[in-house]
Structure 1
Amino acid sequence: MKAYDLLAYLLEHTQPGSIVVVTTPNNIPIMLNKEDEFSVLAYVCKDEDVKKLRETFDKSTIHRAVLDLLTQLSDYLQTQIDELNIANSASFPGCVEKRTPRQREVKREKPRPKKEDIKLLIEQMRTLPEEFDILPLLSHEGKLISLVMQNLSLTTLDKIVKSLSHVKGDAIMPINPDLQTLNYVLSTIKFDLQKGNPLSSFDNFTFFTAMFVDQGDIGEGEFMSKKIPKRSGKFFTSNSKGGLKPIPLEFLDYSKNKKNGLYVGYFIHDGQQFVRLGGFDLLDYHEQGKFTINAYLLSSFLAAQKDFSIEYSAFDKLVSNFVNSVISKGIGAKYVKEVFELENLLYDIQLVKNVTKESINIVDPISFWYYKSKGQDPLLCTECELKDKVELWNKITKGWFREFLL
């Protein structure tokens, strides 16, 4: 039987106190002791040594526990475990559990960073470089409101353009960037439920991206004197700890969505209502390799970054929560295992710089756009002409987003 399916069933359905023995295809016994509802202890013998592996989990992380246990067993036995079978008994003759001394961890207090005037930092961030790229969003009172890719802020222009463009002085030239690069950058722009977004705002308008499950038409609304269909959606909020909560929201949208489909939307909030300007079907993009679920989750989780780093354990929790709360029992169920496996390939996500057990070091979206638009591999911009914007982005965003739309 498939190892993943068997272990998932045993962890979920066996009673606390139960002991079940499974064997690998080459007859290595593994004893599973279900200690309580949310922990399991696995014993496996190799070279006269009993290895003890413990996994703790909850309802939202059971799939992660299965994959972690399989990984540990495969590493210990030095063979990939794809199949397991139920056995009647097991014995470990001559085996002794190997004990390793515990090391005491010494916690050191981190120096508190010096507080800076956030309003002044935002003003500095919004100043425009000599040349920049814009993503047009909407026209308002004869002006074009656009997102500036070099500082992720909104600005207005007297000229109206309909596509991504490069601005240098009075000259505006259309550009054709890679769609995946654009989605990486836009996915990092989030909306805090209490404070909005410090950068992507102008007057009452705030631009951001968010993921939602479409729940169908509920009537009609009005935006800027235009009648637009109104829809209901199940959105999700997250925080720096990787939590995930559903939240119902109404929004205006011209798009013809599939009910119960999983979408990423480009939104404007005008101080009263949410208006979707565009977006994509996340499962379709994942299936076609245009932009994976994992890439979207990590890009979105940059809202929780501090000094170009996010906590690995927090992102891991977010992935588990997403799988169990969003796709495990819906139309995305077939992607559950793939999402967990892709998390082990974090370097495939282009915003990832390097990974340790504690943290994921990232490339910020401004540096990312700067280098990718030049056809170069993304790096953290420490010497380029946008290095001041990069530092400002870090100072402004870290700690700003407490509970944000994912």
Structure 2
Amino acid sequence: MKAYDVLSYLIEHADNGSVAALTTEDNVPILIIKNNEYSFTSYICLHSGEVKSIFKEFDRTTFHRAILDFIDEVSAYLGTSITELKLSDAALFTDCIPKKEEKPKRKIEKKKEEENITDKIQKLRIIEKPFHVIPLLTDQGKLIAYVPEISTISSFDFITKSVSIIDDKISPANVDFKQLYLTLFSNKLDPHQGNPFTTINDITFFTASFIDLGDKGKGDFNGKNVNKRLGRFFIGTYKGGLKTTDIEFLDFDSLNKGRLYVGLFIRKNEKILKLSGMSIVDLHESGKLTLNSYLFASFAQTAKNCVINFADYDKLFSNFLNLGLAKSDGRSILKDAIEIHSMMIDLPFSEQISNNQIKIVDPISYWYYSSNNEDIRECIDCPLKDKVSLRKDILASLKRKGWLNAFII
């Protein structure tokens, strides 16, 4: 049965406190507990023994949205689109529901892990000179900039409007276009968990591709009058799934409706501002940066244990051709993109390919070795090795929580 139909019927008609068991098309059990008339708790039970809980609360007007959001969260966690669910016997999955006495302990452990991640990211932001800054915006008199040597954003008391090297003085930096933007394009937004690496205070930096859908009037950002536009964005999964979602954003520039772009964005509270954008077709045809390299740089960040399966990327690539290129001006580069893909080239962040398994390096290592015109590899003995190791440790904790199982591509 359709996932939405099954879930909405159960939540509407089940008794408070009752437990229902469902299974996905891949036989993953999902237990649904109706807490009361306006909330339910679910437990997704992986075959590895891992259990993921999701709590949803709603009212009469938000009931249907809660069901749709729940399906999206389950799909993101499992890395596959959930369209069908089957009823099963809850008695078969009693081990799936955590015992009540274990809940406080897990909450304490979860809180400690979250605090630990925050502390480690703060430690990651401590960097010795010299380092680069890529300015994003000024906020409350401070510069918000991306620092590629630590793969995070930070705030600074000085202001610069161009990519610079910070040492005893601030000097302009001559950085290769492709190296610069592929590094920036590695920063993705999880639609549910955000991006802890590129979040400071209430500001999150991310990059994304989108089809411009036209003007939506005016808005404001930090007290400034700004154009409001609608874009068709793409949400991918680490298994190669892809769907579209329409998102409003603010934009100081003007765009052409129907064109496919890649943009640098910041999210402040609930507002999204496009800092800059480039036509993917123009980038591809100019040779500065291909669509293929953009897609792979984005998808590479979903790697598990620094490895991705080319078959998963191939699926995402095919989906993007259908949902992105075929529905925009990107049709003009469709043939060339397919030819590049078939040769398995333009795969930035890749260190080694073996049996369709691609070993991926982190953005810090990529930046360091690209800057020195050396072969890309993981930095285990370079000056940034401690930052690479710390980021890897943080990333492992985030991945255990399902971070970037889904991401805005």
Judge same fold: TM > 0.5, yes or no: yes
Is residue 404 of structure 1 aligned with residue 407 of structure 2? yes
| Displacement of 1:279 | 2.3
Change in Cα spacing, 1:347 to 1:395, as seen in structure 2 (3 Å) is: farther
Q: How far apart, CA to CA, are the structure 1 residues paired with 2:312 and 2:395?
A: 17
Q: How far apart, CA to CA, are the structure 1 residues paired with 2:152 and 2:276?
A: 18
Q: Is the CA contact (8 Å cut-off) linking 2:349 and 2:362 kept in structure 1?
A: yes
Amino acid at match of 1:193: P
Cross-structure match for 1:31 = none
| Displacement of 1:335 | 2.6
Amino acid at match of 2:183: V
Q: How far apart, CA to CA, are the structure 2 residues paired with 1:284 and 1:304?
A: 27
| Displacement of 1:280 | 0.9
Amino acid at match of 2:309: E
- How many residue pairs end up in the alignment? 291
Q: Is the CA contact (8 Å cut-off) linking 2:230 and 2:246 kept in structure 1?
A: yes
Cross-structure match for 1:385 = 383
Cross-structure match for 1:140 = 139
| Displacement of 1:312 | 1.2
Matches within 5 A, 1:249-260: 249-260=247-258
Q: Which runs of 5+ in 2 are unaligned?
A: 1-111
Matches within 5 A, 1:89-104: none
Q: How far apart, CA to CA, are the structure 2 residues paired with 1:346 and 1:387?
A: 29
Matches within 5 A, 1:74-223: 117-168=116-167, 170-223=168-221
Change in Cα spacing, 1:302 to 1:393, as seen in structure 2 (3 Å) is: farther
The percent of aligned pairs where both chains have the same amino acid is 40
Change in Cα spacing, 1:364 to 1:346, as seen in structure 2 (3 Å) is: farther
Q: State the SS of the aligned residue for 1:145.
A: strand
Q: Is the CA contact (8 Å cut-off) linking 2:260 and 2:328 kept in structure 1?
A: no
Q: How far apart, CA to CA, are the structure 1 residues paired with 2:227 and 2:284?
A: 27
| Displacement of 1:359 | 1.4
Q: TM-score, normalization: structure 2? A: 0.68
Q: Is the CA contact (8 Å cut-off) linking 1:355 and 1:361 kept in structure 2?
A: yes
| Displacement of 1:121 | 3.0
Structure showing the higher helix proportion among its residues: 2
Q: How far apart, CA to CA, are the structure 2 residues paired with 1:200 and 1:139?
A: 15
Once superposed, what is the RMSD of the aligned Cα atoms?
Answer: 1.8
Q: Is the CA contact (8 Å cut-off) linking 1:228 and 1:254 kept in structure 2?
A: yes
Amino acid at match of 1:401: L
Matches within 5 A, 1:219-238: 219-238=217-236
Amino acid at match of 1:369: W
Change in Cα spacing, 1:129 to 1:242, as seen in structure 2 (3 Å) is: farther
Cross-structure match for 1:326 = 324
* Aligned counterpart in structure 2 of residue 351 of structure 1, from 340, 349, 352: 349
| Displacement of 1:334 | 3.5
Which of the pair has more CA radius of gyration? 1
Q: Is the CA contact (8 Å cut-off) linking 1:347 and 1:353 kept in structure 2?
A: no
Q: Is the CA contact (8 Å cut-off) linking 1:134 and 1:146 kept in structure 2?
A: yes
Q: TM-score, normalization: structure 1? A: 0.68
Cross-structure match for 1:290 = 288
Amino acid at match of 1:253: D
Q: Is the CA contact (8 Å cut-off) linking 2:135 and 2:161 kept in structure 1?
A: yes
Change in Cα spacing, 1:346 to 1:137, as seen in structure 2 (3 Å) is: same
Q: Is the CA contact (8 Å cut-off) linking 1:212 and 1:263 kept in structure 2?
A: yes
Q: How far apart, CA to CA, are the structure 1 residues paired with 2:328 and 2:338?
A: 16
Q: How far apart, CA to CA, are the structure 2 residues paired with 1:348 and 1:332?
A: 18
Q: Which runs of 5+ in 1 are unaligned?
A: 1-114
| Displacement of 1:126 | 2.0
Q: Is the CA contact (8 Å cut-off) linking 1:351 and 1:363 kept in structure 2?
A: yes
* Aligned counterpart in structure 2 of residue 315 of structure 1, from 313, 316, 325: 313
Cross-structure match for 1:361 = 359
| Displacement of 1:184 | 0.7
Q: State the SS of the aligned residue for 2:160.
A: coil
| Displacement of 1:377 | 3.4
